[in-house]
Structure 1
Amino acid sequence: MTARLIGGRYLLGEPLGSGGMGSVWRAHDQQLDRVVALKRAHPGVDDPDGRRLRREARTGARLHDPHVVTIFDVVTDGDEHWLVLEYLPSRSLDELGKLPPDQVARIGVQIASALQAVHAAGIIHRDLKPANILVTADGTAKLADFGISRRLWAEATLTDSSTVGTPAHLAPEVANGNEPTTASDVFSLGAVLYTALEGHSPFGDDPNPLAVLRRAARGELEPLRRGGELTPLITRMLAVEPGDRPSVAEVVNELGGTAAAPASRRRKRWVIPVAAAGVAVVAVLGVLIGRAVSGPSEPSAAPTTAVAGPVGDPLTADPCALIDEASLSKFGDATLEPAYGNFDRCDVVVNGSGGQQVDVRAELDEADNELPQGAVEKLTGNLNKVVRARAGDGDCERVLVLSDGTHVVVEARHTDGSGMDVCAMAEAVTQKAIGVLKAGPIPRRTQPLPAASLAHLDACTLLDNQALELIPAVDAKHPDTSFGGWSCGWESTTSDLSVDVRFDRDQPLDASDGRPVTMSGRSAFISSEDDGPGTCAALIVFRQYADTVELVTVIARGPGTQTTLCGLATKLGQAVAAKLPKA
C-alpha cells in the first residue's frame, strides 16, 4: 500500500496509527508538495458512503485554532473515503505515561483553549481522551478526532447517540444515557488531566469497560493523589453534578490562560528527544538549544579592530549578519528575532498564511561537533564545505564548515503547524551566509554585548568540583564546551546522568514557566521536563533589561524520577547562583 496514490494526489506512506474506527497514514500531497496525514475508516466500520468521515471533515473544517489539528479535505478513491489532515510529528498523550503537574497544566491549558474554540463554534467534542490529544516534542498540544462530535443544535439519530465517548473519561450524566453537553466535555477533560497525572482513569484501572461504565454512571471516583496545585481545579471539573463544574473559560484562566492568546515574543524551546542516544549530550545541545545575539541593548560604539580568520572574537562576531528577513519574506511574514536564547545564534520567525510557524536560525558552533549525513559541496576561501542534510519531520538543516573549522548551523523547523517548505527556507539562509563569507569574515555586532551581560562569563566556571560531586562518578576534568564558552556540560562515567549549564534569553518568566523559587537572592524557576522527557531545569534570572531577561539554565538529565532530577537541578542551580556576579 505504500506506493498507492489516493485521489490522484496523495502518495500514501507508512501507517502512523490505528484506532477503533479508523487508521491513519503519512502521505505526500503531490500538488502542494507537503506532508499530510490521511485517515480512513476501518473496512468493518459501518460507513459505506463515507457519511461519518464527511461529517468529521465538516465539523473539523469549521475550527481554526492553533491547538486543533487542521482538516484540509475529504477525498474519495474508488469505494474508499479518506480524510486529509495536518501532519503533526507527535505522540499521543496516552503514550507519555505519568506526567508531573506543571507539564499537565501546560498541556491542559492548550487543550482547554482548543475546547473553548470548539464550544464557541457550537460543537461538543464528546470523546475527549488521551489518545485524541497529540503532543509534539516542544510541548505543543493539539486536539484531534472529531469523529463522534456533534453540533449543539443538530438532531440526534439513534445511530449517532449510540456512540457517546470512552467509558474511562465519560461524564456520569452521559454514562446514564443523557445527551452530552459542554459540561460533559469539561468533565472528560478533567478525567484526561487526572489520567495524565495518575496513569489511570478516575474510575480506576479495571480492564473491563462495562465495569468502568458502571462506575462512571454512579460517579464513583478515586481520589487524586499526584495533582499538587491542580487538585482543587480537577476535583471541580470532575464534579458529579454538571452545574458544579467550572466553565471551560474558567479552566483556561485557572490553568494559566495563555494558550489561546495571540502569539507573543515568547517562543517554544526546542527540546532533544531522549532517543538521541550515541551522540554526546552537549554536542547535540550545541546544535539544538536556543541561542541569540544581543537584544535591546545599551548604546555603545561598535568595535573596529581587525578580525583574525573567518570568525574572530566570539564576543563580537554577529550571527545576525548571516540571516535576514528579506531572504525569507517570500515564504510568509518574516520577523528577525535577535534576542532569544544564547549569544551564538540569530533567528527569523516565518508565519504562514495557514497559522503555521517556522523558526529559521543561523548558529555558530564548535569545530569538533559531529556533522550530519548529507550531500557535500566543496568550497574555497573562508568556506571549506557545505553539508546539506536530508529533510526530517518538519525540519531541514545545513552546516557550513569554515576554514578554521567553526560550523555555521542553519536550520528551519516547524514550531507550529506543518506543510511549509523548510528546506527552501534553510537553503535561502545558506545562500545568504555563503555570500557574506565569500566577501570576508563574519561582520562584527553593531551593538557590542554590554559589560554586564552573561556573555562575558564562562559557563564552565559556574560549577566547581564540590558541586559536581552531586553527580556520581562525574568526569569533572573534561567538560563538553561550546562556542564562546556559553554552555558547558558534564557526564557521569558510570551512568546516563549529566548536567548542562547554558546561557539563555527570553522575555520575563512567570509561574507558567515553572515553580518559582529564590536562589542566592535571585528569582528562579524549577521546570520539570523543560528540555524534554527525562530532564528537569533550574532557570535562574541573571538580569533584566527592556522586555528581555538573561538566564542561566541548569539542566539535569538522565534516569530516575522527576522528583530526583528536579532535586538535583535545584541543588546545582543553587551552586551556580551563588557564583554569579551582581548583574
Structure 2
Amino acid sequence: MLDEGAVSAGQGHRRTVAGRYQLLSALGTGGMGTVWRAYDQVLHREVAVKEVKAPDDLAASEVERMHARLEREAWAAARICHPNVVTVYDVAKEDERPWIVMELIRGSSMADLLKAEGALSPQRAAHVGVEVLAALRAAHAAGVLHRDVKPANVLMAHDGRVVLTDFGIATLEGTSGLTMAGEMVGSPEFLAPERALGQALGPASDLWSLGILLYAAVEGRSPFRQTTPLVTLRAIVEEDLPPARQAGSLASVIEGLLQKNPEERLAAEQTHRKLCAIRDGRTTGVTAHPATSQVTTPIIGSPVAPRPDRRRRRTAVLGVSAVALLLVGGGLTYRAANGDGQESTAAPEKSEPSRSSGSVEVSVSGERSAYQGSCPPYNENAPTFTATFTVDRTPAVVSYRWVTDKDSLIDDEWQTLPFAAGDATTKSKSLDFSTYYGESFRTLIGVEVRKPQAVRSDSELLVIECDEG
C-alpha cells in the first residue's frame, strides 16, 4: 500500500498487532477504517496493514460480513502473483477481527497524481493503462474480477511500478458472494452499465472501468460523473460517451472499451496492443474484437441483452436490482420509444376479463416498509414487498410489473409468471430495496397485471430516509 504523506500516529502510541506488526503511522483513514505503515518485527521490514473498524451501531451479522469481505480481499489478491498487483503477506487476527498485511508501496495514488498535476498526456496514460490491464488480465486468469478499478486504487510507485490494489469487493471463481442479492457496491462513476442494471458480470466489466480510468487520465474527470450517484448511474446506462477531446490516439481505445454492450467492447488482447503502440509512439491499425473472446472467468448473474440500435434507443430496462435508478423524489416516469421512434407511456394493455382467459387476484404486502438509516440499507433491514398471485385455474400465465404511485414504473417491461398444469394456484414474487442509495423519498408500491386480465393490487407505502454523511 501507499507510503506518502503519512499521518503521524504519535511516538507514545505504538500498538502491535498479532504480537508482530508495530503500527507506525496512518497512511490514510476513512469512514470504515485505516491503512497503517507498520514494522514487521519478525522479518524486520516495513509493511502496510489494513484495519477495518465497524461502526458501533452495526449489527453483529453485518460486522461478520465486513470482516469476511476483508479476508476475501486478501484471498483475491493472494491468488494473483504479478508485479502490477499489490502483494499480500499475511492476514493477522487481533481483537477478533482480521488485519491485512501487504507490501508497502512508496509513491502516490493515480487520483492524487491527477489532483496535483492535472490530466496526463495520452502517451503517459497509455503507459498506466498497459500496467493496469496487465494486472486485470492476471486477475481474470486467476478467476478474480476486481470490480472497483479507479484512480484511487491505482498506486504510482516511486520506482516506476504501477500497482492495482484494493480487492475488497472482488469476486472469486469457486466461492460464494459476500454481497446481498442485488447489492450494488463500488464507485458509481466507474461502474459498467451491466453492473448498474444488475446484469451479468465478467472480465469485460473490469475493462469498462479501465476505459473510464483512461478517460479520466486524459480529460481530468470521469465522463459520466453527475451531481448524485443516481444521476450518474442513469448517465452510464443511457447517455452517449462525451468526446474525449484530449485523448488523441487514445480516443479509439477509450471508445472501444466504453461500449454499453460488453460483447461489443474492445477485447483485452487488442487493448494491450493498442495501448503499447500509443505508449511507444507507434501507430496501430488493430481492429476491435469483442471482449467475450477473452472471458476466462464464469459469468456471474443473468445474461445481458443486446444493445438497442442508437437510432431507436429506448430508455434502458431497469430490473429490480437497479431500482435505485427509479425511485427518487416520489418516482420517475420512464418512457420508451416505439418502433416509429416516438415516445409512449408504456401503459398497460386494458382488456375485459373473460371466462376463456381465466382470472387472477393479486395482493401486495410490505415488510420493514419504513426505513431510516445509512443507504444502501443492509439486507436484513431493507424494505421488502411481496406480491401474491392467485389464478382460478392452471395452466396459466400471469403478465405483471411492479409500479409506484402516479403510474411511474419500476419494471419497464412486463414480467411473466407461469403456472404449469398441476401447479398450486398461488405464487409469490418479491421486491427488495437493499441496493438503494440516493436521496430520501416516499412512494406507493403496487403490482399491475395485464394478463390473464387487467387488474391492479392495492398499494403499500414505502418510506426511505437516508442518513446524511
For the aligned pair, the TM-score class normalised by the smaller chain equals 0.5 to 0.7
The Cα shift of 1:19 comes to: 4.3
Contact 1:25 1:39 in 2 (8 A): yes
TM-score, normalised relative to structure 1: 0.43
1:249 and 2:269 aligned: yes
For CA contacts below 8 A with separation 6 or more, give which structure has more relative contact order.
2
AA at the equivalent of 1:3: R
Q: CA RMSD in A?
A: 2.1
How far, CA to CA, are the matches of 1:86 and 1:229 in structure 2? 35
Query: In the aligned structure 2, how far is the partner of 1:161 from the partner of 1:38?
Result: 31
Q: Equivalents in 1 of 2:138, 2:31: separation in Å?
A: 26
Aligned to 2:99: 82
Distance in 1 (alpha carbons) for counterparts of 2:146 and 2:44? 31
Distance 1:116 1:174 in 2: 19
Within 5 Å, give how 1:203-222 maps onto structure 2.
Answer: 203-204=224-225, 206-222=226-242
Aligned to 1:72: 89
CA distance in 1, matches of 2:181, 2:157: 32
Cross-structure match for 2:333: none
TM-fit CA distance, 1:513: 5.1
**What's 1:144 paired with?**
165
The structure 2 residue matched to 1:132, chosen from 153, 176, 188, is 153
Deviation at 1:152, TM superposition (A): 3.8
1:118 to 139, 154, 171: 139
Matched residue SS, 2:166: coil
Structure-2 residue corresponding to 1:42: 53
Alignment-mate amino acid for residue 16 of structure 1: L
CA–CA separation in structure 2 for the residues paired with 1:38 and 1:157: 22
Output one character per residue of 1:448-482: Cα deviation in whole Å (capped at 9) or x when no partner.
xxxxxxxxxxxxxxxxxxxxxxxxxxxxxxxxxxx
The answer on 1:94 being equivalent to 2:107 is no
Larger displacement relative to structure 2 (39-48 or 187-196): 39-48
Q: Which moved further from structure 2: 126-135 or 173-182?
A: 173-182
Partner residue, 2:439: none
Distance 2:53 2:210 in 1: 27
Structure 1 equivalent of residue 254 of structure 2: 234
Cα distance in 2 for partners of 1:37, 1:252 equals: 30
Is 1:148–1:160's contact at 8 Å kept on the other side of the alignment? Answer: no
Could you tell me whether the CA contact under 8 Å between 2:69 and 2:168 is conserved in 1?
Answer: yes
Aligned counterparts of 1:19 and 1:191: Cα–Cα separation in 2:
24
Aligned partners of 1:209 and 1:95: how far apart in 2? 22
156 and 58 in structure 1: CA distance in 2 versus 1, 3 angstrom threshold: closer
Alignment of 1:293-312 (within 5 A): none
The SS at the match of 1:47 is helix
Using a 3 Å threshold, how does the CA distance of structure 1 residues 158 and 100 change in structure 2: closer, same or farther? closer
Q: Within 2, Cα distance between the matches of 1:218 and 1:112?
A: 26
Count of residue correspondences:
262
1:161–1:56 distance in 2 versus 1, CA, 3 Å: farther
* Cα distance in 1, alignment partners of residues 192 and 173 from structure 2: 17
Distance 2:179 2:50 in 1: 25
5 Å-filtered alignment, 1:131-530, equals 131-156=152-177, 158-159=179-180, 161-204=182-225, 206-256=226-276, 512=279
Q: CA deviation at 1:227?
A: 0.6
Equivalent in the alignment of 1:109: 130
Percentage identity across aligned positions?
Answer: 41
Pairing partner for 2:37 from 1, 26, 30? 26
Which residue identity is paired with 2:192? A
CA distance in structure 2 between the aligned counterparts of 1:112 and 1:21, rounded to whole angstroms:
28
Find the aligned partners of 1:153 and 1:19 in 2 and give their Cα distance.
31
Secondary structure of 1:96's counterpart equals helix
Please, what TM-score do these two structures have when normalized by structure 2? 0.53
Given that 1:125 and 1:185 are in contact with CA atoms closer than 8 Å, whether structure 2 keeps it comes out as yes
Distance in 2, Cα, partners of 1:197 & 1:19: 27
CA distance in 2, matches of 1:135, 1:122: 25
Residue deviations 1:231-254, cap 9 Å, x none? 001110001111111222221222
Q: What is the CA-CA distance between 1:190 and the residue it aligns to? A: 0.4
Letter in 1 for 2:99: W
Runs of 4+ in structure 1 displaced over 6 angstroms? Answer: none
SS at match of 1:26: strand
Distance 1:21 1:236 in 2: 36
Q: Do structure 1's residue 13 and structure 2's residue 34 form an aligned pair?
A: no
Distance 1:176 1:163 in 2: 10
- The CA deviation string for residues 49-81 of structure 1, in whole angstroms up to 9 with x for no partner, is 721111111111111000000011111112332
Q: Which residue of 1 aligns with 2:410?
A: none
In structure 2, stretches of 5+ residues that fail to align are: 1-8, 284-469
Distance, in Å, in 1 between the alignment partners of 2:112 and 2:30 is 14
Between the aligned partners of 1:221 and 1:19, the Cα distance in structure 2 is: 31
- Segment of structure 1 superposing worse, 187-196 or 170-179: 170-179
**SS in structure 1 of the partner of residue 198 of structure 2:** coil
